[in-house]
Amino acid sequence: MIQLTNQLVNHLNNDKIAGLPRETGNPAFWFFDLNKYSPTGVLIRVVMRQELDQSAPVKKRCGMRKNSGFTLFELLTVIAIIAVISAIAIPNFINWLPKYRLGSAARNLLSAMQYARLMAVKENVNILVNFDPGNNNYRVFADYNSDNDQDTGEPTIRRGKMPGGIHITGTNFASDLLKFNSRGLAAGSGGTISITNNLNDLSKIRINRTGNSRILGDGEK
């Protein structure tokens, strides 16, 4: 059939009756135009139509394979892999989360101590940090009259509360009050704030007498 089509095309290329340009050698061009200009076009149209009909079932089968999707075995394999990864990852994540919260709370507390010292120097007044371990919070305020108490007209500069699962276990400041004077120095010899999480992991923030503060590493006192 292909040989017959080629013979017809060669014949039509030399067909003067068609009156079509010779540079057009595309069989598709002959398919549309020869039916109008030459009787031979009827035959080539029939031949090409038969070739298209024979190729149709192959395309249909290919299309069905392309849209076939996953098998049950493949789906069960993926589910089993996800289950194994989850069994390993979830316990590690549960143990990691309290430690992350403890570290984040320690950094926030350190930032509050540094801010209190900065405001003492900037405003040239005494700044106090009052810790309340029972309610897991703290309060930073100005102490204009140096009576170690917040009176009327002495503003609260900052408040903070420990996130869920984090607890202030205590400080070694007198009356849980940390005081920075107008030069940024801590009252007395400084002190330490201790916080823990639900796993009893401990973190400490140390403020020395010069007013500098830092988070202590494991084993430091």
Confidence grade of residue 27 (pLDDT, cut at 50, 70, 90): very low
Q: Return the higher-pLDDT residue of 40 and 120.
A: 120
Distance CA 144, CA 157 (A): 13
Q: Tell me the residue type at 16.
A: K
- For range 10-26, the mean pLDDT: 48
Judged against a pLDDT cut of 90, whether residue 155 lies above it is answered with yes
Distance CA 18, CA 210 (A): 106
Confidence grade of residue 3 (pLDDT, cut at 50, 70, 90): low
- The C-alpha angle with vertex 173 and arms to 182 and 180, in degrees rounded to 5, equals 10
For position 30, what pLDDT does the model report?
Answer: 43
Q: Tell me the residue type at 182.
A: S
For position 136, what pLDDT does the model report?
Answer: 93
Confidence grade of residue 106 (pLDDT, cut at 50, 70, 90): very high
Integer angstrom CA distances of residue 57 from 52, 53, 64, 163, 198? 10, 8, 11, 67, 68
For position 33, what pLDDT does the model report?
Answer: 45
**Least confidently predicted of 23-37, 121-135, 163-177:** 23-37
Nearest to 190 by CA among 205, 204, 206: 206
For position 190, what pLDDT does the model report?
Answer: 87
Structural domains of the chain, with CATH: 2-66 (no CATH), 103-215 (3.55.40.10)
pLDDT mean across residues, the chain: 78
For position 52, what pLDDT does the model report?
Answer: 47
> Is the pTM higher than 0.75?
no
Confidence grade of residue 147 (pLDDT, cut at 50, 70, 90): very high
